[in-house]
């Protein structure tokens, strides 16, 4: 059994390391600026909020060069990357403009960019934004989606890209144990 270390000083570095123990998917968040220029960023903060209505969110760092676009865009896309999408994740994580110029994509009905090879691409209408520390939380209602027939997701865990272990079979829940949802 592993020993656990407790700490009193919660530094940003320690918090980042601890949060890295939570495996996440990786998505590219796209939007269109008021000048028509497409922007994109890599996010592991993309998550579902509600099925009815269909709400999702992502968090944009204030340090992003395209931060103002995410503060004002009426729509955004969330493109879930496939297992071998590390180079695309790195591409959109770098600073700079014209990120979509060399990337195969389509423009969705809402005007946002959709990656051609994403496992699923959501087109979302922004419903609310919340200031939160050094980030902006952007919540949107999914209005359209494009989904592939298969594929495994790119996973991020402990500051590294990972992939699911497809040789391990999922454990079936035991009938006598009830499934509880807290909230």
Q: Using one digit for the tens of pLDDT, what is the confidence trace for 60-88?
A: 999 999 999 999 999 999 999 999 999 99
Integer angstrom CA distances of residue 43 from 24, 47, 64, 85? 10, 10, 12, 13
Per-residue confidence band for 183, with pLDDT thresholds at 50, 70 and 90: very low
Structure tokens at 72: 């004002």
Proportion of the chain above pLDDT 70, given as a percent: 86
The C-alpha angle with vertex 24 and arms to 23 and 29, in degrees rounded to 5, equals 160
Tokens 């407790």 -> residue? 6
Residue 173 has pLDDT above 90, yes or no: no
Judge contact between 124 and 79, C-beta under 8 A.
Answer: no
CB 18 within 8 A of CB 100: no
Name the architecture of domain 23-162: Roll (2.30)
């Amino acid at each position: 059994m592993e020993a656990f270390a407790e700490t009193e000083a919660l530094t940003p570095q320690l918090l980042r390391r601890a949060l890295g123990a939570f495996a996440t998917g990786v998505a590219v968040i796209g939007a269109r600026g008021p000048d028509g220029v497409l922007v994109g960023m890599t996010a592991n903060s993309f998550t579902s909020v509600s099925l009815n209505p269909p709400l999702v969110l992502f968090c944009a760092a204030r340090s992003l060069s395209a931060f103002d676009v995410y503060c004002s865009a009426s729509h955004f896309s969330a493109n879930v990357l496939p297992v071998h999408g590390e180079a695309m994740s790195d591409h959109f994580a770098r600073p700079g403009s014209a990120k979509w110029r060399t990337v195969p994509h389509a423009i969705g009905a809402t005007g946002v960019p959709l990656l051609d090879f994403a496992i699923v691409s959501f087109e979302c209408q922004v419903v609310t934004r919340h200031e939160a520390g050094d980030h902006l939380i952007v919540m949107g209602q999914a209005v359209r989606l494009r989904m592939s027939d298969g594929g495994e997701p790119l996973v991020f865990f402990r500051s590294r890209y990972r992939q699911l272990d497809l040789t391990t079979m999922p454990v079936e829940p035991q009938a006598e144990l009830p499934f509880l949802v807290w909230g």
